[in-house]
Amino acid sequence: MELTPVAVIRHNVGPIDGLFLFDTLALIMLIQKNIPIAQYTTFKIGGPARYFCAVKNEDDLLEAVKFSKEKKLPILVIGGGSNLLVADSGFNGMVIRNEIKGKDWKEGNDGIVTVTAGAGEDWEGLVKESVDRGLYGLEGLSSIPGTVGASPVQNIGAYGVDVSHAIKSVRAFDTTALGFVSLSNEDCGFTYRDSMFKHEKGRYIISAVTYELSKNGKVSVEYKDLKDYFAKKGNSQPTLKDVREAVIEIRKNKLPDWTDWGTAGSFFKNPVVSAQKFTELKKLYPELPGFTEQDGHVKLSLGWILDKLCNAKGLTIGNVGTYEKQALVVVAKPGATAQEVLDFSNELMRRVKDKTGIEIEGEVEWAVA
């Protein structure tokens, strides 16, 4: 395995006053060959990247794209690798790890505060800081692993809140037009666990995201788990901090610790069906939970379907299984392969189709080239 750099990119920038040594080092980017990607993902699975580099600023990003274009390499951008399943054969292209940091907080009128965060910032760190500053908007999304740059990609969400409600704009490098663009919330085409970035796969590399938060917001505790949590605590007026703590505690009891397990959280999206299909299913399974959306469609609880109808909670085949406390979460033992995870997920898909007629969709990104 070759671990030495194949390219050392030095940006064409002179030394900066008084910061010569530090900044000279910071302006160097290494491009390496045959780097195992598993170590950069929470599944801890996947073969090597043919080329790999970590970008710390937009200049690095440009150089990495230039290098890839010259060599005609497909590009895979990764953040925390917490929503990825990388093929056992690895990625026969360039893997760019986004490590662009920085947060810029700006106070506007009427208690509105915007924060622009570098794509490589830790998501949980941003949520914590926003709550510490008394800002409403992200508290329900506490404890989700990963980076800021990936938050718009699958429009991360939990406990009835999606990040799209807080995203003002996204700054990204457009690898087709070869320039940086600013995309509005509308441009991003957000829907449930989905956005334009998933459909124009590989076209945009996000370098920063701007969120709009509020000093005068209201906490949302409509979601059943949160309602139950506060009812049990006898807390009828939870504060911003209370909601963040509740979400962290609920998640801790429901989800595996990804530092111990190989996992990417929920492996599938909850299916959304027509009202008619929901009625048909309710006749067969009267206890099936469903949440009616604004457009009349009904979002089903796939965790319930896998558990109650497919007998899949805690199911294990070889090195791969569903988590004992939440059937929607696939977990892998050390040594598991991507193929085993795929085979297992196909088995779950088959069981759901047999019981409900529904073809479920993956939430985790399959990375192969």
90 touches ligand FAD by CB under 6 A: no
Distance CA 208, CA 173 (A): 10
Distance CA 264, CA 145 (A): 9
Local structure of 120: helix, strand or coil: coil
**Total of residues contacting ligand FAD (CB under 6 A):** 34
- Contact track, ligand FAD, 33-52, x by CB under 6 A: ---------x----------
Least separation in angstroms between residue 6's CB and ligand FAD is: 22
Distance CA 213, CA 117 (A): 13
For ligand FAD, the binding residue among 64, 206, 246, 250 (CB under 6 A) is 206
Least separation in angstroms between residue 143's CB and ligand FAD is: 8
* Active site residues per annotation: 193, 266, 363
- Of residues 223 and 285, the one with the C-beta less far from ligand FAD: 223
For ligand FAD, the binding residue among 51, 91, 230, 258 (CB under 6 A) is 258
Mention every residue, 6+ apart, whose C-beta is less than 8 A from residue 310.
327, 348, 351, 352, 355
157 touches ligand FAD by CB under 6 A: yes
Reduce the secondary structure of 243-290 to three states and give it as a string.
HHHHHHHHHHHHCCCCCCCEEEEECECCCEECHHHHHHHHHHCCCCCE
CB 301, CB 289: distance < 8 Å: yes
- Of residues 281 and 338, the one with the C-beta less far from ligand FAD: 338
80 touches ligand FAD by CB under 6 A: yes
- Of residues 61 and 281, the one with the C-beta less far from ligand FAD: 61
Least separation in angstroms between residue 15's CB and ligand FAD is: 29
Distance CA 330, CA 104 (A): 36
CB 103, CB 115: distance < 8 Å: yes
The residues of the shown chain that bind ligand FAD, judged by CB under 6 A, are 42, 76-84, 98, 119, 144-147, 149-151, 153-154, 156-158, 197, 204-206, 255, 258, 263-265, 365
